[in-house]
Structure 1
Amino acid sequence: MASAVLSTGFNMDAIRTKSVERTLAPLVQQVTTLANSAETGHVSNRKKGKSKNGSVLVAAVERSIENFVENSASIIRENPDAAHELVKALDDVKRTGAEMVASSREFVGDACSSQRRTKMVAAARALLTAVARLLIIADMIDVRLLLEAVQRVKGNLDHVKGAASNQELTDRFGAMRAEMDYLSEETRKRLNDLRNPGERDDLQAARALLKTNSPIMYTASKAFVRHPEIDPARLNRDFAHSEMSKALQAMDDVIQGRTPSSEVGMSQYGRIGDLIAELDKFQNRVYLDPATYRDKKHRPELEEMLERIVSGAAHIADSENTRDDRKQRIVAECNALRQALQDLLTEYERNAGRKEPSEELDLALVHIGHKAKDLRRHLRRAVVDHVSDAFLDTRVPLLVLIDAAQRQDEQGVEDAGRMFIEHAGKLVEVRLRLLL
């Protein structure tokens, strides 16, 4: 493919989605090949300036324009609400495409003409500008629909928080869940289409935060509706509302190409691979219907999942790069999460067979969500410490080794060599802990 910044003035790095890139790439390839050939004078070396190869290039450009127009027309039919904007932009593509083909044919007929060369290159710029405008409008429509979905969930979330009765809470939560399901599916499509891996990580983190706090919001709100005079019930509801609001704001930021808050976004720090995935899976799995709870089945399953998480956290805590205070906090949060799980399993046993779960079960679910979030935060900060320490100055070990060699200090070379190998090992260790 052509370079990122083309001689026609078109910047492929500005494209945010894979689908747009796939649609645009063939046309950019053909147009820039012809335009670049014209600018360098390599289209023709035949007598009288005529070029058989140039005619082939023009035909290829014409086919690429036709294919692009057909694909764009199909997209317009699928988006009738935005048809007016898209049709106008597509008309510009057709017009500039026709001018590009016509000027290319004229140039191929006399490839020695600097005037015709200049005209064709200008037509190529105009065509790619029109194509870019159409694709930007199409992407803006997708972004607008996603942002509208985010706002609908935000509105429903506020309605859930304001529910004053169990029935009102159930109705409002059901409406929010329906909007969340739609948003989750649409963001999944967007996530798979984004070119930037950092944006994909951030959007996935926001989706996970929204999903895991949804049941906490419901159970905490239910407890508050029953006993609004109890401060812990209100605080738990407000906590879940705040977490879901952060997730929705992060989605809004990523969709619009902004960097989300460091409380939600993962791209600033990297991800802790399988350990984060295990935490996500654990947080989703602990939410059970009390009527379906079976002690001999669910207790060992959840305890085994948690021990895998504790084992992974211990590996990070035991690293020599983990600071003592951070190590103590990770160990403390692992123990707290273990206790929270045991308390939750006890409540599940007590609620077996009940039609309506107890307040204690609701509070136990909220509590384990708190503890999982606390552990996640300390793990993330530990990895950030590892990165900052390892990359503080990557050149020092090498410079010390070079200096010892220049001084012909044999013992110094051996000592510096060991330091260099140890430091390189730390860099590899940190890299293996991050999914960049």
Structure 2
Amino acid sequence: MAAAKFDSKNLEIKTKSIEQTLVPLVTQITTLVNHREKPKKSEKTCKAVLEVGKAVNIAVNRFTAVGKAIANDNPDIKDEMVDACKEATTAGQNIAKLTNIQYDDSGQPMNFTEKSSMVRAARGLLSAVTKVLLLADRVVVKQLLKAKDKVDSSLSKLEYVSNFTDFVQAFSQFGSEMVELAHLTGDRQNDLKDEKHRAKMGAARAVLEKSTMMLLTSCKTSLRHPDCESAKENRDGVFSQMRRALAMIQSIVTDEYPSSLNGPASHLIMHNILKDFTDLVESSRVTQVDSSSRDKLVRALHNIIDTTQDFTDSAYTSHEHREKILSYCDKAKMELHNLAKLGVAIEKNDCRHPTEDLEKSIIKMCRITLDLKKQVQDTALDQASEIFQNNEDHDILGMLKNSGVAGDVDKVEGYSVKFIEHSEQLQEACRLLRHISGSAPLQISAEHAENNMKLLGPQTVSAAQTLAINPTSKIAKENLDVFSEAWEQQINDLSVLVKEINDVCQGKSCEKQVYLSLPRPGSPNGSKHGTTLKSVSVKPVKLDPEEQAKIAKAGLEMKLMTSELDADADKWEDTENDIVKRTKNMSSMAYSMYLFTRGEGPLKTTQDLFTQAEYFAEEGNKLYRTVKDFSFQVPEGSHTIELMSSLEKIPTYCQQLHFTTKSPTTGKIATFTKVDSTINETKNLMAAISRVITNCYYLATTYNLTVANSPIRQWRGPPPPIMNMHMNNDDTESVKSHYSTHSEGSLMRSTALHNKPMTSFGAFERI
């Protein structure tokens, strides 16, 4: 990969790891520079400074030795790396010379240099070390792009295979290359400083992860039914989506964004332009609404009014919301006109101080802007809420699937129209949600959700059409099931996003709280948690990174289940009933177990995990009894039978989870097996609970039933801690721990995956 020469005046650091690697060096250099300001220097101080200077020089020499080794393995950056290492070595030697102070007979320093000399040397050293780190990072980027190109090449091979034998071979190769890309992009996502880039990388990785199973079944269906046009469209749509995600990954790591990925440059976000407008109004106290400020205010308000059309022109916006938005826009125009008149008057009178009328107008303008902001938030959130309350999505998708299974082409066509209309409504909701999102990551998530639905809707329809044409095809049936599951998961993801955006609009933290049900200090038996459950005494074990990577897939699936449980619980109007509270308790417990699979959160050892799982099973039994009491109110019918069928599985899963956590283990391998079993048993219990909660909600709303409200203690811990990326190293070993040499001579980031690992490629075992 060709790269431009470094601009020494513009060494932009884009990764947290490079920034943290420089922290110890900056600290030491700051010490050296600051001591120059002291008027008196004792012999003790001078000796300490000398030691720091020597340490810096030694660390730089070791650091550059690793840099030279990197240069030898990567000819494309060799010349630049060697030059950067020479600069760093020279700068380190200068630092050592400046701190090597000689003394006269009276003990006073003889060659104590000015502060400016140390500052110049320090700047030179920081610049050179930064160059070395950025060049090493370029190697990491090259490795990631190489992995991306391999996946792209494998996709091309898959696209043109003509028989199942070649397909199996090509898909297996694709799988191994995709896993490598998943790890590299996960590391990169965690390391990026810019939150927008992190969010975009996460969105691209999510597309690749979710598309893998769809790629498998759509390709198999197309191979089995080569003359079916809808099968080909279905498969081609997946290829297109994955290539778009790969292009996004490349654009992020190279910082080059084609217009096709960025969308129209003129697209405005309501939250952002309202904030900019408010800032302009507030600054009027200083500008006195002069001619330049008036022009800016008029343009800004024009942008706001243009953007409100996305809300007022929407077919799903209620008449009441539409009228309120238009009313606030009219008020804003009138007040801006008044503000501008005051500015003209101030200019004519040559008044240099804010007037009382100006202050009142500014306050009124800010209030109107805030009211407009709240109104567009209510409009977007009400649209989304109405979609989830009506629950049309599940019914339409079910009818589409049933028509496909029955081979009824006409009905599939009819329901396809309804399904696409519903998809467009969801896209419209995502568009408005993006407008009110209070942060760049949420805006990107909303845009990602909109794009996914825009692509996934027609793909699901084409999968149903293929099955309707070939109703006896097991592969076509499996393919439709996969696309239906992907659609349902997208709906669940959207419900979580709506909740996060709503929390931000209300000023709440969007970080998920963690249920901490482990005994706290001073409570060794856990009696404070209302339980006498005792755990088997097992020596706590910490899993190493390789073992944690093995359970990452199960942990990710558990995390998705917690989102689904939260979404199910949030549907209830009565959020204080026992079913909702126990569901949220269990969701939060499971979330802390998910964090354990990432090496984070309050559960630090395997024994912590087992204890949490025991509490989880105990809470499951309590939920079983609560739902059992609720079921006595339900009239007999098919839904009641379905509820009881799902409910009776919960005690079995709880008992199995208890058995797993209580089983004795000896040795690390057995402990790891127990961890894996515990995670999987917890997932089974969560899946059963999700089905039960869905049925309970349907029955409660259909028959207007109530659920008991009793005090349930909810133990909450602090939000999950942020992974400490600080690398307190300033010698060769620090660089080796940060960059480890790959078998092919390139470099691989050695930081652990902080983001959700994209390794759930069970599709490769199902060919």
TM-score normalised to the size of structure 1?
Answer: 0.61
Residues 341-390 of structure 1 deviation map (CA, whole Å, 9 limit, x = unaligned): 999999xxxxxxxxx95322223212332443356457647865x489x4
Query: Shift of residue 128 of structure 1?
Result: 1.1
Query: Quick one: which of 48, 57, 63 aligns to 1:56?
Result: 48
1:39-188 pair list within 5 angstroms: 41-42=37-38, 44-46=39-41, 52-74=44-66, 77=69, 80-82=72-74, 84-85=78-79, 86-105=81-100, 116-188=114-186
Gaps of 5+ in 1: 1-8, 270-318, 347-355, 391-425
Write the distance in 2 (CA, Å) between the matches of 1:89 and 1:256: 21
Over 3 Å counting, the alpha-carbon distance change for 1:108 and 1:123 in structure 2 is farther
Deviates more, 1:16-25 or 1:79-88: 79-88
Map of 1:251 onto structure 2? 249
Write the distance in 2 (CA, Å) between the matches of 1:90 and 1:345: 67
Write the distance in 2 (CA, Å) between the matches of 1:176 and 1:33: 52
Query: Shift of residue 135 of structure 1?
Result: 0.7
TM-score normalised to the size of structure 2?
Answer: 0.36
1:32-431 pair list within 5 angstroms: 32-38=30-36, 41-42=37-38, 44-46=39-41, 52-74=44-66, 77=69, 80-82=72-74, 84-85=78-79, 86-105=81-100, 116-257=114-255, 323-330=381-388, 331-336=391-396, 357-373=474-490, 376=493, 380=497, 386=502, 390=505, 426-428=506-508
Root-mean-square deviation (CA, aligned residues, Å) is 4.3
Map of 2:529 onto structure 1? none
Query: Shift of residue 209 of structure 1?
Result: 1.8
Over 3 Å counting, the alpha-carbon distance change for 1:54 and 1:323 in structure 2 is same
Query: Shift of residue 210 of structure 1?
Result: 0.6
Residues 102-147 of structure 1 deviation map (CA, whole Å, 9 limit, x = unaligned): 1233599987989643322211111111111111101111111111
8 Å contact 2:503–2:509 — kept in the other structure? no
Write the distance in 2 (CA, Å) between the matches of 1:141 and 1:90: 16
Write the distance in 2 (CA, Å) between the matches of 1:259 and 1:381: 28
Map of 1:314 onto structure 2? none
8 Å contact 2:60–2:88 — kept in the other structure? no
Write the distance in 2 (CA, Å) between the matches of 1:339 and 1:427: 40
8 Å contact 2:60–2:92 — kept in the other structure? no
Q: Would you say 1:31 and 2:89 are equivalent positions?
A: no
Write the distance in 2 (CA, Å) between the matches of 1:108 and 1:262: 63
Write the distance in 1 (CA, Å) between the matches of 2:40 and 2:157: 73
Write the distance in 1 (CA, Å) between the matches of 2:14 and 2:225: 48
Write the distance in 1 (CA, Å) between the matches of 2:22 and 2:166: 49
Write the distance in 2 (CA, Å) between the matches of 1:71 and 1:430: 41
Write the distance in 1 (CA, Å) between the matches of 2:103 and 2:146: 49
8 Å contact 1:150–1:248 — kept in the other structure? yes
8 Å contact 2:18–2:133 — kept in the other structure? yes
Write the distance in 2 (CA, Å) between the matches of 1:341 and 1:108: 89
Deviates more, 1:201-210 or 1:250-259: 250-259
Over 3 Å counting, the alpha-carbon distance change for 1:35 and 1:341 in structure 2 is farther
Residues 317-354 of structure 1 deviation map (CA, whole Å, 9 limit, x = unaligned): xx9765444334343334456678999999xxxxxxxx
Deviates more, 1:195-204 or 1:19-28: 195-204
Query: Which protein has the bigger helix share?
Result: 1
8 Å contact 1:343–1:364 — kept in the other structure? no
Write the distance in 1 (CA, Å) between the matches of 2:27 and 2:33: 10
Write the distance in 1 (CA, Å) between the matches of 2:161 and 2:9: 52
8 Å contact 2:25–2:56 — kept in the other structure? yes
Write the distance in 1 (CA, Å) between the matches of 2:29 and 2:509: 46
Query: Shift of residue 220 of structure 1?
Result: 0.5
8 Å contact 2:201–2:252 — kept in the other structure? yes
Residues 362-420 of structure 1 deviation map (CA, whole Å, 9 limit, x = unaligned): 23212332443356457647865x489x4xxxxxxxxxxxxxxxxxxxxxxxxxxxxxx
3-state secondary structure, aligned to 1:428 = coil
Write the distance in 1 (CA, Å) between the matches of 2:245 and 2:210: 10
Query: Shift of residue 217 of structure 1?
Result: 0.8
Give the AA of the match of 2:225: H
**Number of residues paired by the alignment?**
322
Aligned sequence identity (%): 22
Write the distance in 1 (CA, Å) between the matches of 2:229 and 2:103: 80
Gaps of 5+ in 2: 1-7, 264-268, 271-376, 407-472, 514-562, 564-718, 723-767
Map of 2:354 onto structure 1? none
8 Å contact 2:84–2:132 — kept in the other structure? yes
Map of 1:4 onto structure 2? none
Residues 148-202 of structure 1 deviation map (CA, whole Å, 9 limit, x = unaligned): 2112212221221222222222222222112111111222333343445554443
Write the distance in 2 (CA, Å) between the matches of 1:16 and 1:68: 22
Q: State the structure with bigger RCO (CA 8 A, min sep 6), 1 or 2.
A: 2
8 Å contact 1:340–1:371 — kept in the other structure? no
Write the distance in 2 (CA, Å) between the matches of 1:143 and 1:16: 12
3-state secondary structure, aligned to 2:100 = helix
Give the AA of the match of 1:95: T
Write the distance in 1 (CA, Å) between the matches of 2:172 and 2:403: 28
Give the AA of the match of 1:94: T
8 Å contact 1:156–1:172 — kept in the other structure? yes
Query: Shift of residue 240 of structure 1?
Result: 1.2
Write the distance in 1 (CA, Å) between the matches of 2:64 and 2:490: 45
Residues 231-287 of structure 1 deviation map (CA, whole Å, 9 limit, x = unaligned): 221121122112212322232233235689589xxxx99xxxxxxxxxxxxxxxxxx
Give the AA of the match of 1:53: T
Over 3 Å counting, the alpha-carbon distance change for 1:432 and 1:176 in structure 2 is closer
3-state secondary structure, aligned to 1:188 = helix
8 Å contact 1:224–1:237 — kept in the other structure? yes
8 Å contact 1:97–1:127 — kept in the other structure? yes
Query: Shift of residue 213 of structure 1?
Result: 0.4
Query: Shift of residue 223 of structure 1?
Result: 1.2
Over 3 Å counting, the alpha-carbon distance change for 1:30 and 1:336 in structure 2 is farther
